[in-house]
Amino acid sequence: MRIIGNLLWLLFGGLEAAMGYFSGSLVMVFTIIGIPVALQTFKLGLLCLWPFGAEVIDTSSPTGCIRLPLNLLWLIFGGLWACLVHVFFGLLLCITIIGIPFGKQHFKMAGLSLAPFGKDVILHV
């Protein structure tokens, strides 16, 4: 069932969203300051590519007190917009019964796009 959901997801917009996150990641990696942000947008792109069966967990790496300022900068410079877009499409998809599983995946991505530093994406293929 996961494979069918992921294939439908890719067919109806998931691939375009993932390519948007990957291209943003590629642009950010050209600057030294943008490399941590590029890693987070790549993480979001992976989740957009294969959301059914993926899980977002807290990371165990000791980043310390830098996590909060990075998440705050992320929120100000684009994370809020990405979150709002995912929430909008999640609500739009939850109008129909068939769209509810896809809406839930958008809500999962909204949570990650709100504060990606300190979280990991685990893909269960």
Express each pLDDT in 7-23 by its tens digit: 988 888 888 888 988 99
Nearest to 21 by CA among 40, 41, 38: 41
Residue 68 structural domain: 2-123
Can you tell me the distance from the alpha carbon of 60 to that of 2, in angstroms, rounded to the nearest whole number? 27
Q: What is the pLDDT of residues 72-115, one digit of tens each?
A: 888 888 889 989 999 999 999 999 999 999 999 999 999 888 88
Total domain count, the chain: 1
Are residues 121 and 43 in contact, defined by beta-carbon separation less than 8 angstroms?
A: yes
pTM: 0.84
CA distance 78 to 55: 22
